[in-house]
Structure 1
Amino acid sequence: MNNLFFAFLCTLVFSNFCFSQNNSAISSDNESLSNPKLVVGIVVDQMRYDYLTRFYDRYGEGGFKRLLNEGFEFKNNHFNYIPTYTGPGHASVYTGTYPAIHGIIANDWYDKEIKQSVYCAQDDDVNPVGTTHNAGKMSPHRMKTTSITDQLRLHTQQKSRVIGISIKDRGAILPAGHSGTAYWFHGKKEGNWISSSFYMKSLPAWVQHFNTSSIAESYLNDTWNTLYPLETYTESGPDLSPYEDKFKGVENSVFPYDLKSLALDNGNFDIIKETPFGNNITTDFAMAAIDGEQLGKNNITDFLAISYSSPDYIGHTFGPNAVEVQDNYLRLDLEIERLLKFLDMEVGKNNYLIFLTADHGAVHNPNYLQSQNIPAGFFNRSDLETQLKEFSVYTFSVDLIEKIQSNQVFLNKEALKTKNLKSEDVQQTLADFILTYPQIDKVFTRKNLEGNTYNRDTGYLVQNGFNQKRSGDLVFVLDPAVISTWYENGGTTHGSGFTYDTHVPLIFFGNGIKKGHTYQKSEITDITPTLSALLGIARPNGSTGRVLTELFE
C-alpha cells in the first residue's frame, strides 16, 4: 500500500472511530444478514472474459481467485447490443436495459437538434466542483431511465448512501444514477478528485483531505516496471512488439516506464490513468469513501460503484497480447485483494455483496491477427464518407450526408425536404451502396429497425442499441476484427457485437451468494434485475433483463 495513502487512511479511520462506536459491531464470519450493509459494484473497463482464464495461474488467492472460488460465476455473460462502448456499458449494467431505452447510445453522438456532437455525461448547465476546468461540467442528465442505485435510494427514503467512483467521469456518473453522488479523477496539472454542482456545492472534507495528501504525486513520481521478472510473462507476446502503440516521448513500448520523465508529454497527472497506478488510486479513493461516508456502518444498505478505468487506457494503447496488459491485470488482482481485505475489516465478511463485470471487451490488433493468418483489417471512415457523399450527389443531385459517427449515417432532413425525396427510399439506396464497401458486413436502415423485430443475431444487437430519437438513419456493421485505421500503428479498440467485445466476466460474491458457476447464457442487462431481487427493491423503470435464477437455485 502506498505509504502516503496508509498515513492518510489511518488519520481518516481515527477521526471516524468515535462515530463507529455508536454502530452495531461487525458480524462474525458465520453470521448471515437478510440484506447486505454495503453493495459494491465493480466494473473493469475493457476486461475480456479470457483475462480471467488466461492469467488465472498467475493470480494470487485473495483477489480474482477469491471471487471465483467463493462466489458464483456466470461464464457465458454477454452484452446484448451494439455499440459496446464505455458509456452504454456502464449505463446498461446499472439500468438493466440497453441503449434503445436508457438513451446512452455511445460515448459521444451527433445531436440532430443542435447539429453537433454531444458527450454522454456533458452538462453545460452545471458547474465544476473541486476544479475550475470544464472536466467538472458533467451529470447523468442524458440517461433517460433510473438505475439500481436510484431505486435503492427511493426504497430507503434517500437514507442509502450511494457513491460512484472512477478515473473516467462517465464511469462514475452513470453508475451513481440521478440521485447518488459521483467523483472522478481530473489529471492535467491538478491530479484531484472532482465532482459537479449537480451533486454538491463543495467537496466534503474527506475528499479535500485526500486531494491535499500528495497521494497522486507519489504515483506520478513512480516507475511502472513489471511486477514479476519479465521473462515469466509467457502468457503474453514479447515486450517489444510491432502491434503496440506507445507513450509519447519514448522510442519503443518496453519496460520500465518512468512516469516522472514522461508526464510532461503525456498530460502530466493524466499519465497515471494509463498505468496500473490508476487502479491503485481508485482503490485508495474507494477506501477513503467507505471511511469518509461511513458506508456499510448501519443496517440500511449503501452502494459503492467502483469502475477501474485504467485497463481501458492500457488496452487501447498496447492491445490484448501485450505484457503491459498482463501486468496491469496481475496488479489489479492485488488491488481487488486489498479492497476485499479492507471490506472484511471495515464492513464485515458477510455484510457486503459484490458483483464484478466489465463494460465491454476488446479485439486483438488486426495486424497481429493477420500475422497469424486470421482475417482482420482496418476501416477508414473518412474514405467511406467521401465516397458516400459523392454517390449521393451523383444519385440525388444533392449531398444528403449530414454526419457519420459511431458507424451511423445521419441524413440532412432539410435537403431531403427541399428535393422532395422520401427518406425511406433514400435510406435503402444508400444502404445498398454502403454494403458494396469493403469491410462492411451489414447495413440497417431506420425503416428496418423501426418496422421489424429482430430476435437474434446481429439485427437483435443493432436494434437494442438503436434509439429512435437519438440514433442515425442508417447503421452499418463492420466485418469481424475490422477496426479503425487509428490503430494501424498498434493497440486496439472495441464497439462491435462480436464475442471478443461482448463476452465479459460476471461474478457475484458475498452476502447471500452461494458458491458455484453456470454456463447458461446471461446478458449484461440481467445484473440489475438480479440485484433488485436480492435486495428486495423495485427494478429500474426501464429494466428489460431477467433475474438470474441460477443464484437462487
Structure 2
Amino acid sequence: MNKFLYAFILVLVCASCSAQNVTTTVVEKDVVVHNNDKPKLVVGIVVDQMRYDYLTRFESKYGKGGFLRLINEGFNFKNNHFNYIPTYTGPGHASVYTGATPKNHGVIANSWYDKTIDKRVYCAGDDSVQSVGTTSSAGQMSPHRMKTTSFADENRLFTQMKGKTIGVSIKDRGAVLPAGHTANAAYWFQGKEEGNWITSSFYMNDLPEWVKEFNKEKSVAKYLTTWDTMYDIDTYTESGSDLNAFEGGFKGKETATFPYDLAALKESNNGYDLLKSTAYGNSIVTDFAIAAIKEEQLGKDAITDVLAVSYSSTDYVGHNFGVNSKEVQDTYIRLDKEIERLLNELDIKVGKGQYTVFLTADHGAVDVPSYLNSVNIPAGYLDNDKAKEQLTMFLVKTYGTTDLVKNVSNNQIFLNRTKITELKLDLSDIQEAIINEIITYDNVDKAYSATTMSTTSFSYGIELLLQNGFNQKRSGDILIIYDPAYISYGRTGSTHGSGLNYDTHVPLLFFGKGINQGSSFEKTTITQIAPTISALLGISFPNGATGQPLIEVMD
C-alpha cells in the first residue's frame, strides 16, 4: 500500500473511532496504533483489616487464581502504608478513593463528636435521606460528610455521567464512601431477620428489579451452614492453636473452636448478622458483585465503569478472633477463592485484558495484646476509667470545674470553648496544661494540641501522621498517642487505629489492563492509589488528592 494513502486512511479511521469513543487497533507490518486504550472497567477491592503479612504468611495455602494471580501477573507494592492517624474503616475507604487524608477529605473516624452541633455523628449517616429496601433506619446513608471527590466521581464527570459507578460491601461505609458523591448506586447488607441488600434514597427511590429478585431468592440462607476449615485444620500451621484464651467466639458456643454450626447459632447472634463475622460474609459480597456486573452491564462498552468492592467480613472475624487465629487464616484462604471467582467472572463478562483491578486494605490490626504478653512482648490494655478520674481531679484542682472538657473520643479531647471564653481563659494555655498533665499518665506516649497541629509543619514521624489526620474544623483540641500495642479494647480479639506498622502496612496490588508486571520495596502510601487510577484513565485527579501517581506500575 502507498505510504501516503495508508497514513491518510489511518487518520480517517482514528478520527472516526475517537468520535464514537471506541477502541480500534490498526496493524500494518510492525505498526500498531491504539485508540482509547483505557480499561472498560476499574474494579477497586478493599479488604477490611488486611495486614500485608497475610499475603506472605498464608501464601502456601493460596491457589494460583486469586491473590497469587494478582501478584504474579500484576504489580505488588510490598511496602505500602497509611500515612495518617487514625487507621479506621471510614477514613481508610475515603482515603483510598480520594487520594487524600482526613485532613482534606474530612472523614476523621468512623464516627466522631461534631463540635459544631454538639453531638456524635456517623461518617456515612444522613437523616435527610430515606432507607430503600428496608423499613429500618439502616439505609439512611450518604457520602455527604466526605468533603472531596473520589476518582469514581472524576470518572463520572469526565464521561458526562456515562461511566457507571457501583459500590458493594457488607458495611454501609464500605460501599458509600468509595462510590463517591455521583454514584449510580451503593449497596450494603442488612442482616438481622432480613438478610437483604439495601440502599438509600440518595441514589434511588426504589431498588432495581434485579436487586429485588436477588433478595427474593434468599441466596444468603445457603451460607447458614457449618463453618469448618477448608483444609485439614492440622495443616493450618501458620496460625495459633484453635483453643486458646485470646479469642471471643459466638454466643451459644462454649469455645471459639471449629466447627461452627451457623444455623444453630443464628438466633443467638442477631440472625443474618452472624454471617458478617464468618468467612461466608465475603461469599455474599462476591455473589452480589457478580450479579451487579451482569445486571448493570458493567464494562460492556468503551466508556470506563467503576465497581468498588469492599470485603468486610475479614474485619469482623479479626475483631472477634484476633490476628493469629485459625478463623482468620481460614477466612483468608476462602477469600482467596472469592477473589479467584470474581476475576474469572470478569474474564468472561468484560474480557481478559479489558479491565483493571487494584487490591488494598483500609487498615491493618494489632496482635491480641494478651497474646503478645504471653510471649514477652510489651503490650496491654488502657485503663480509661483511671485516666478519666485523674483528669477530673486535675481540672477541679486547677480550674475549679470539670466543664472545660466537652468530649473524649477517638484518642482526642474536645474542650468546651464556650466555657473557656466565659471564664476568660486562654485556649492554648489550657491545651498545654492538659497535655503536661496527661503525658504523666500510664501508657500515654505523646500528646499534641490542635494549636500545634495548626501552626507547626511536620515532615516525618508519628507527628506527620497525626497532622495528616487532623482536620482543623472537625478534630479535637488534644490528640493522644499511646504506647505500642496498648489498646482500648476487650481482652480477646484484635483492633486497630494507630500509626504503627501493624496498622499502617497493608497490601497494594495492581492488575490488568495498562498495568506492568513487577514488584517494589519502595515505600508507597495509600493516597497514591486514586491519582494512579486517574492517570491511567486520563481524568482529573480527585479535587483534594495529595498523593502522586505510581508511575512504575503503568504500562
TM-score, normalised to structure 2's length?
0.93
Which SS does the other structure have where 2:351 is aligned?
A: coil
Runs (4+) of structure 1 moved beyond 2 Å? 23-27, 30-33, 380-383
Which SS does the other structure have where 1:185 is aligned?
A: strand
Q: Report how far residue 419 of structure 1 moved.
A: 1.4
| 1:39 paired residue number | 42
| 2:259 paired residue number | 256
Which SS does the other structure have where 1:347 is aligned?
A: helix
Match of 1:322 among 300, 322, 325: 325
Match of 1:515 among 510, 514, 517: 517
CA separation in 2, counterparts of 1:26 and 1:200?
Answer: 36
CA separation in 2, counterparts of 1:26 and 1:91?
Answer: 35
The CA deviation string for residues 295-349 of structure 1, in whole angstroms up to 9 with x for no partner, is 0000000000000000000000001100000000000000000001100011001
CA separation in 1, counterparts of 2:90 and 2:386?
Answer: 27
Please say if 1:67 is aligned against 2:70: yes
Please say if 1:278 is aligned against 2:281: yes
The amino acid that maps onto 2:200 is: S
CA separation in 2, counterparts of 1:386 and 1:177?
Answer: 42
CA separation in 1, counterparts of 2:554 and 2:43?
Answer: 20
Q: Report how far residue 547 of structure 1 moved.
A: 0.9
Please say if 1:57 is aligned against 2:60: yes
CA separation in 2, counterparts of 1:113 and 1:394?
Answer: 29
Match of 1:353 among 349, 352, 356: 356
Q: Report how far residue 386 of structure 1 moved.
A: 2.5
CA separation in 2, counterparts of 1:90 and 1:386?
Answer: 35
CA separation in 1, counterparts of 2:430 and 2:116?
Answer: 21
The CA deviation string for residues 466-486 of structure 1, in whole angstroms up to 9 with x for no partner, is 1001000000001101111x3
| 1:185 paired residue number | 189
Q: Report how far residue 31 of structure 1 moved.
A: 12
CA contact (8 A) 1:36 1:353 kept: yes
Aligned length: 526
Please say if 1:235 is aligned against 2:238: yes
CA contact (8 A) 2:195 2:218 kept: no
Q: Report how far residue 26 of structure 1 moved.
A: 13
Q: Report how far residue 384 of structure 1 moved.
A: 1.7
| 1:382 paired residue number | 385
CA separation in 2, counterparts of 1:291 and 1:31?
Answer: 31
| 1:474 paired residue number | 478
Please say if 1:544 is aligned against 2:550: no
| 2:138 paired residue number | 135
The CA deviation string for residues 434-464 of structure 1, in whole angstroms up to 9 with x for no partner, is 1001111000101110110011001100000
Please say if 1:80 is aligned against 2:83: yes
Pick closer, same or farther for the CA change 1:92–1:324 going to 2, 3 Å: same
Alignment of 1:325-344 (within 5 A): 325-344=328-347
Please say if 1:528 is aligned against 2:500: no
Alignment of 1:185-224 (within 5 A): 185-220=189-224, 222-224=225-227
The amino acid that maps onto 1:142 is: R
Q: Larger Cα Rg: Structure 1 or Structure 2? A: 2
CA separation in 2, counterparts of 1:447 and 1:216?
Answer: 50
TM-score, normalised to structure 1's length?
0.93
CA separation in 2, counterparts of 1:279 and 1:376?
Answer: 31
CA separation in 2, counterparts of 1:383 and 1:134?
Answer: 36
CA RMSD of aligned residues (A): 1.6
Q: Report how far residue 550 of structure 1 moved.
A: 1.6
Which SS does the other structure have where 2:347 is aligned?
A: helix
CA separation in 2, counterparts of 1:118 and 1:390?
Answer: 29
CA separation in 1, counterparts of 2:22 and 2:104?
Answer: 41
Q: Report how far residue 420 of structure 1 moved.
A: 1.1
| 2:162 paired residue number | 159
Q: Report how far residue 25 of structure 1 moved.
A: 12
| 2:115 paired residue number | 112
CA separation in 2, counterparts of 1:196 and 1:382?
Answer: 39
The CA deviation string for residues 371-402 of structure 1, in whole angstroms up to 9 with x for no partner, is 11111110132332232122111111111111
CA contact (8 A) 1:26 1:347 kept: no
The amino acid that maps onto 2:108 is: I
| 1:492 paired residue number | 494
The CA deviation string for residues 110-131 of structure 1, in whole angstroms up to 9 with x for no partner, is 0112211110000000000000
Which SS does the other structure have where 1:123 is aligned?
A: coil
CA contact (8 A) 1:166 1:185 kept: yes
Pick closer, same or farther for the CA change 1:344–1:225 going to 2, 3 Å: same
CA contact (8 A) 1:389 1:401 kept: no
| 1:483 paired residue number | 487
**Which runs of no fewer than 5 residues in structure 2 stay unpaired?**
1-20, 26-31
| 2:171 paired residue number | 168
CA contact (8 A) 2:49 2:315 kept: yes
CA separation in 2, counterparts of 1:107 and 1:194?
Answer: 20
**Which runs of no fewer than 5 residues in structure 1 stay unpaired?**
1-22
CA separation in 1, counterparts of 2:38 and 2:385?
Answer: 53
Match of 1:407 among 408, 411, 433: 411
Which SS does the other structure have where 2:79 is aligned?
A: strand
Which SS does the other structure have where 1:520 is aligned?
A: coil
The amino acid that maps onto 1:408 is: Q
Please say if 1:103 is aligned against 2:103: no
CA separation in 1, counterparts of 2:160 and 2:227?
Answer: 45
Which SS does the other structure have where 1:144 is aligned?
A: coil
The amino acid that maps onto 1:543 is: A
CA separation in 2, counterparts of 1:545 and 1:536?
Answer: 16
CA separation in 2, counterparts of 1:382 and 1:201?
Answer: 46
CA separation in 1, counterparts of 2:389 and 2:111?
Answer: 22
Q: Report how far residue 205 of structure 1 moved.
A: 0.7
Q: Report the identity percentage.
A: 58
| 1:14 paired residue number | none
CA contact (8 A) 1:365 1:487 kept: no
CA separation in 2, counterparts of 1:473 and 1:519?
Answer: 37
Q: Report how far residue 168 of structure 1 moved.
A: 0.1
Which SS does the other structure have where 1:109 is aligned?
A: strand
| 2:151 paired residue number | 148
